[in-house]
């Protein structure tokens, strides 16, 4: 469960990114955050992962008030919360296998456990046989699938996706969406910020619309008009 309780986020006296945000996301839900650039979508994702802190109010993941976590406990939160970015953020000097392994090494998994899990993850993101490739040898769509694989490799319960199809052609965008949707079906909570009207309208998931830092619409099985 993710909860925003009367959250305000100001970046300066004159810049308010979010105002009076109250939002509850149940475990296993798939939520689209939609709105124009600068509306506050990315700020909401960063608050969930505790990359930034609210100016007022509280953000919870499960029973953890993430904005009050000391820095030393943030790695435990980020084991639960995986982030997928528009620009992939892969380690270019490491192979696909090594990129995914990073998330498992942090959890102190054994070599055998890492090898087994990487095989499972590569199958899940349709990259079997690509484990020894480097990012520059992959298409943008394949690179994004590696990024998703890295995000789900550990004990992840929540995936935050910030415009994950923004740099992709329509075919690859739909492939990414299918993978994310399948991950959701396994019980993982998905919070996805996007501008892609076709994707939002096709899946008919819960849609939260943000304008000027405020939630102006929150409907289940909805569309982005």
The first and second tokens of residue 217, run together, are: 């619409």
Which residue in the block uniquely carries the two structure tokens 């109250």? 22
The first and second tokens of residue 135, run together, are: 């990012």
Question: Residue ranges per domain, the chain?
Answer: 2-90+155-219
Asked if the model's pLDDT at residue 206 lies above 90, the reply is yes
Which residue in the block uniquely carries the two structure tokens 């079997």? 128
Q: Buried (b) or exposed (e) across 150-163, using 16+ Cβ within 10 A?
A: bbbbbebbbbbbbb
Share of the chain above pLDDT 90, in %: 77
Asked if the model's pLDDT at residue 73 lies above 90, the reply is no
The first and second tokens of residue 91, run together, are: 């380690």
DSSP 167: T
**What pTM does this model have?**
0.92
pLDDT digits (tens, 9 = 90+) for 113-153: 999 999 999 999 999 999 999 999 999 999 999 999 999 99
Domain 2-90+155-219 fold: Rossmann fold (3.40.50)
Report the SS3 class of residue 205.
Answer: coil
- Number of Cβ atoms within 10 Å of the Cβ of 81: 22
């Amino acid at each position: 469960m993710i909860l925003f309780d009367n959250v305000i986020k100001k970046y300066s006296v004159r810049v308010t990114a979010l105002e009076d945000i109250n939002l509850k996301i149940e475990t296993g839900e798939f939520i689209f955050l939609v709105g124009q650039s600068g509306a506050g979508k990315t700020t909401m994702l960063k608050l969930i992962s505790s990359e930034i802190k609210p100016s007022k109010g509280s953000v919870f993941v499960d029973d953890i008030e993430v904005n009050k976590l000391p820095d030393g406990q943030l790695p435990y939160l980020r084991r639960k919360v995986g982030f997928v970015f528009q620009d992939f953020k892969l380690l270019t000097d490491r192979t696909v296998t090594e990129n995914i392994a990073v998330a498992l090494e942090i959890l102190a998994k054994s070599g055998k456990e890492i090898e087994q899990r990487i095989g499972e993850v590569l199958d899940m993101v349709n990259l079997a046989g690509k484990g020894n490739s480097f990012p520059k040898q992959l298409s943008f769509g394949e690179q994004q699938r590696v990024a998703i694989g890295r995000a789900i490799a550990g004990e992840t319960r929540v995936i935050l996706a910030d415009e994950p199809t923004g740099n992709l052609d329509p075919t690859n965008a739909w492939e990414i969406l299918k993978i994310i949707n399948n991950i959701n079906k396994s019980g993982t909570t998905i919070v996805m910020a996007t501008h892609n009207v076709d994707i939002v309208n096709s899946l008919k998931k819960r849609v939260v619309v943000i304008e000027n830092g405020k939630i102006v619409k929150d409907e289940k099985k909805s569309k982005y008009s």
